[in-house]
Amino acid sequence: MTEFSLASYANKPLAECTELELFNALLSLTKDAAAEKGYNQGKKRLYYISAEFLIGKLLSNNLINLGLYDQVRAELAEAGRDLAELEEFENEPSLGNGGLGRLAACFLDSCATLGLPASGVGLAYHCGLFRQSFDKNKQYESPDYWLRWGQESWMRRTPKHYTVNFGNLSVTSTMYQIDVTGYHSQCDTLNLFDVDTVDERVIKNRINFDKSQVAKNLTLFLYPDDSDEAGRILRVYQEYFMVSNAAQLMLDECVERGSNLHDLADYAAVQINDTHPTMVIPELIRLLGERGIGFDEAVQIVRDTCAYTNHTILAEALECWPLSFIERVAPQLVPIIQQLDAFVRGQYEDDFVQVIDQWQNVHMANIDIHFSHSVNGVAALHTKILEDSELAPFYKIYPEKFNNKTNGITFRRWMVECNPGLNKLVSGKIGEGWKTDAEQLEQLLPLADDPAFLAQLDQVKRTNKQTFAAWLAAHQGTVVDPDSVFDVQSKRLHEYKRQQLNLLWAIRKYQRLQMLEADELPKHKVTVIFGAKAAPAYTIAKDIIHAIICLGKVIEADPVASKYLQVVMIENYNVTAAQHLIPAADISEQISLASKEASGTSNMKFMLNGAITLGTMDGANVEIAELVGEDNIYTFGDSSDEVIARYKRGDYNPRSYYEKDEELAAAVDFLTSDAMLAQGDATNLNRLHDELLNKDWFMTFPDFADYCATKAQVLKDYEDREAWQRKALVNISKAGYFSSDRTIAQYEKDIWHLR
Ligand code: TH1
C-alpha cells in the first residue's frame, strides 16, 4: 500500500499553504487513496435511486474510512496546522431535506463497508437545501451555492452523457461521480446527473426565479419540501430526468457485465427511495421495449428488479401527479402508464389500488406497489400501520411483498467522527470491533455498575457540551451554559413533529418560574435547543419558528427566569450542526404525534451519543423503548391506535382541552401576550394561537399534560448524575441494533441478493 503524505500533494511547505491550498491537497490525497482501495464489483449491482443524498461534509469522513485520519492530522499538526480549521473550511453539500436524504447517505456508507457493489443515483443540484438565517425573529431563505471558490470538488465529471427527451425538448446529461468510501473497505459510487445548460443567473432569490425555461432550471434547486409536496411541474421534470438517466446507465452497465436484458434481475437491483423515482418503472419498460422485449415480459423483468421503500403515511406527501403533467414532461411514458393502469383494472376493482384515478391523477405509490417485488416500511410500527391501515387493500393482495426494514445510521459518522471523546472511551474499554460489528457495544453493559466509568462518561458529555457552546458562540454569537441541561429537538420543522408542544412546555415553565419563591427554584438551568428549517411556503411552520425565537428573547430579558431557562434556535441547522450538537445533548426530544413519524433517525443518533429519549411511542422510538427498557427512556402520550381512532371518529376538538386545563390555556394565550407581541409580529403569533385553538391537527393538547409531567420527571432524575449516566450507558450499549450496517444486511438478505 502506498504511503500517503500530504506534503507531497502541496507545492509548498504545509505551514505556508492557504486553507484553500491545503483543502485541495487533502482532496487529491483522499481521491487517490480511495482509487487505490478500488471499487466493490460483482455480477449484480444495487442502484439506489433517490432524489436526495444528504452526504454532509466528506473530508473527515473519508479520512476516517480510509484509515488516514490520525496520520493526516499529525502531519498537519507538525506544520502548525489544525485539521479542524479545514473541516470548518469545507462546504457542506446539503443535497437533501432531512432524514430521507441522510438515510440514503448512511446506506451508501454501509453498502461500501459491507463490500456490496452499489451505486447511488440522483441529481447534482447546483444549490442544496436553502440556507436559513434569522432576522426580526423570522426565518429567511437564501440559495446555498455549495460549489464555490474555485475549490476542488468531491464530484468528478465523467464522460458519460445520456439524452433525455421531454416532449419537444431534448437535453443531454452529464454524469458526475463522488466516491463513497467504506470503513476500511473498497468504495462504491454516488452518480449525480446534471445538464450543462443550467443557468444560475435565473435565480433572483430563493423562491422567486424564472421557472419557464426548464433547461436552465432543471437541476438548480433541491425542492425544500419535507413530507409536503409542493406539486410543481419542475419537480416532475427533475424526477423524469433522474430516472431516465438511472435507467439508461443501469441498462448500459448490465449489458457490459454480460446481461442479455431478459436476465436483468440477475444483474441489477433497483431500490426506489420513496415515490420520487417511481417513473423508473415505466421508463425501464419503455427502454426494454425499444430493445425488443415485449410489454408483458418487460413488466415481469422490471418487477423482479425493482423494490420500493415507503417513508411516510402523511397523505400530503403521497405523490399523485395529474396525467397531464406527465403528458407534458414525458409523453412517451403516458401509453405505458395507461397500459399499467389497464392491467390493474383488469384484475382489481377497488378504486384505492388503481394507477390512474377518475380525475386522471397518477398515484405513484400504486405503481410502485403493483410493479415491484418488495414494499418496505422503515420501522416496525410504521410497517404495521402500512399493512393494517394505510395500505391495507394492497397488503391483502400482496402480503408476500410487504416487509419491514427498520432504519439505521452509520456509526462511523455519528460516533467515530462526531464524538471523538466517546469513541476513545468506548474503544479503550472494548476495542474497535464495534465499528463494524455494532452489537459489540453491548460489551459495555457490565460497566453500568462501575461508578468510575460512569464518571468518565459524564466527563465526556461535559466536554462535548463545552465544545458545542464554543461552536454555537462562534456560529451565531449565542452563549449557552454548559452546566445547564441540554434539552434538544432538532429535525425539520413540521406540525406533526410537534415543536409547538415543546414550545408550549417552555412557556409553561417560564410562567411557573415567575410564580416560584426563591427556595423552590430548580437546581439546574434548562437550555432548550431547537434546530429546524421550515419549508419556505409552510406558513404555520414559520410561525412556530417565530414564536420560539420570540420566547427566547422574552426569557432572556427576564433577570430571574433567564437564570433557570434559556430557549435557543440554531441558525441553519444542517448535518454539520448536527455533528456538533448531538454529542452534547442530554435529552433527545422525539415527540411526534404517534403514528405520524415513520421512523425518525435522529432518535438513533442521540441514543448512540448517550442522550436519553423523551418521546412518544412512534416510529423507531418504539424499538428504542423495547431495547433499553422502561427505566432508560421516558415515554408519554396517546398511542398510535388511540390517535388513529380519534382521526377516524373525527371528533377532536382542541377547545375542550383548552377549557379544562388552566395551565394549557395560559400557555396557549401567552403566544399573543404583550410580552410576546413586544418581540414579535402580531400576524404570525395570532395565526399560530388560532391554529392551535381551532384546529391543532396534530393533537398537541391531548398530550400536553402527560408531556409536562413526564418532562418534570426527566429533569428530576437528571439530578442524580450517576443514575443518569447509567441510563446513558444502557442507551449506548443497546444502540448497536440501529447501525445502518444491520439495516443494509437485511436489505441484502431479503430483497437485493447481490451476492
Ligand atoms: C422521512 C420520515 O419523515 C422519517 O420518519 C424517516 O425516518 C425518514 O424519512 C427516513 O426513512 C421522510 N422524509 C421525506 C421527504 C420527502 C417526502 C417524504 C418523506 S418521509 C420529500
- Give residue-wise pLDDT tens across range 515-562: 988 778 888 999 999 999 999 989 999 999 999 999 999 999 999 999
Percent of the chain with pLDDT over 70: 97
Measured by CA distance, the residue closest to atom 18 of ligand 1 is 227
* Whether residue 713 sits in one domain with residue 748: no
* Whether residue 185 sits in one domain with residue 129: yes
Sheet holding 612-615, edge to edge: 565-570, 526-531, 485-490, 587-590, 612-615, 634-635
Ligand 1 geometric centre to CA of 411 (Å): 20
pLDDT of residue 199: 83
* Whether residue 376 sits in one domain with residue 518: no
Residue 713 domain-assigned? yes
Position 232 pLDDT exceeds 80? no
* Enclosing domain of residue 307: 38-57+92-320+365-407+744-752
Per-chain mean pLDDT for the chain: 95
CA dist., res. 743 & res. 107, Å (int): 8
Where residue 309 falls among pLDDT bands split at 50, 70, 90? very high
DSSP-derived secondary structure for 650-709: T---HHHHHHH-HHHHHHHHHTTSHHHHHHS-HHHHHHHHHHHHHT-TT-HHHHHHHHHH
Nearest to 155 by CA among 181, 175, 131: 175
Burial class (CB in 10 A: 0-12, 13-18, 19+), 115: middle
Position 631 pLDDT exceeds 70? yes
Ligand 1 geometric centre to CA of 171 (Å): 30
Region 385-397: mean pLDDT is: 97
Percent of the chain with pLDDT over 90: 92
Residue type, 681: D
How would you classify the pairing of strands 306-309 and 268-273?
parallel
Residue 402 domain-assigned? yes
Position 129 pLDDT exceeds 50? yes
* Whether residue 505 sits in one domain with residue 369: no
Residue 674 domain-assigned? yes
Q: Is 160 a catalytic residue?
A: no
Measured by CA distance, the residue closest to atom 19 of ligand 1 is 227
Q: Per the structure, how many domains does the chain have?
A: 2
Please give the C-alpha separations between residue 341 and each of 129, 283, 348, 472, in angstroms, as whole numbers. Answer: 35, 15, 10, 53
Where residue 317 falls among pLDDT bands split at 50, 70, 90? confident
Ligand 1 geometric centre to CA of 227 (Å): 6
* Whether residue 371 sits in one domain with residue 489: no
C-alpha cell at 580: 456538533
Question: Where do we find the cell 455494532?
Answer: 438
* C-beta neighbour count of 349 within 10 angstroms: 7
Residue 30 domain-assigned? no
pLDDT of residue 549: 98
**Do the Cβ atoms of 236 and 326 come closer than 8 Å?**
yes
Residue type, 45: R
Residue 199 domain-assigned? yes
Question: Where do we find the cell 474555485?
Answer: 150
* Whether residue 382 sits in one domain with residue 254: yes
* Whether residue 528 sits in one domain with residue 399: no
Residue 7 domain-assigned? no
The number of the ligand 1 atom at minimal distance from the alpha carbon of 51 is: 21
C-alpha cell at 442: 453491548
**Do the Cβ atoms of 39 and 188 come closer than 8 Å?**
yes
Position 151 pLDDT exceeds 60? yes
Residue 547 domain-assigned? yes
CA dist., res. 485 & res. 269, Å (int): 46
pLDDT of residue 150: 59
CA dist., res. 471 & res. 454, Å (int): 26
pLDDT of residue 4: 86
Measured by CA distance, the residue closest to atom 4 of ligand 1 is 600
CA dist., res. 616 & res. 638, Å (int): 8
pLDDT of residue 231: 45
How would you classify the pairing of strands 169-180 and 188-195?
antiparallel
**Do the Cβ atoms of 369 and 375 come closer than 8 Å?**
yes
Interface predicted TM-score (ipTM) over 0.95: yes
* Whether residue 646 sits in one domain with residue 582: yes
* Whether residue 651 sits in one domain with residue 688: yes
**Active-site hit among 235, 497, 580, 726:** 497
Position 207 pLDDT exceeds 50? no
**CATH code at position 633:** 3.40.50.2000
pLDDT of residue 226: 55
* Whether residue 178 sits in one domain with residue 269: yes
**Active-site hit among 73, 494, 605, 687:** 605
Residue 216 domain-assigned? yes
The number of the ligand 1 atom at minimal distance from the alpha carbon of 378 is: 11
Nearest to 585 by CA among 447, 472, 444, 497: 472
Question: Where do we find the cell 414559520?
Answer: 542
CA dist., res. 561 & res. 525, Å (int): 9
312 C-beta closer than 6 A to ligand 1: yes
Region 368-377: mean pLDDT is: 98
Q: Is 648 a catalytic residue?
A: no
Q: Is 497 a catalytic residue?
A: yes
* Whether residue 495 sits in one domain with residue 403: no
Low-confidence winner among 50-64, 172-186, 306-320, 724-738 (lowest mean pLDDT): 306-320
C-alpha cell at 486: 441540554
Half-sphere exposure of 619 (CA within 13 A, CB side): 27
CA dist., res. 641 & res. 227, Å (int): 22
Nearest to 214 by CA among 235, 244, 192, 193: 235
* Whether residue 376 sits in one domain with residue 499: no
97 C-beta closer than 6 A to ligand 1: yes
Ligand 1 geometric centre to CA of 492 (Å): 10
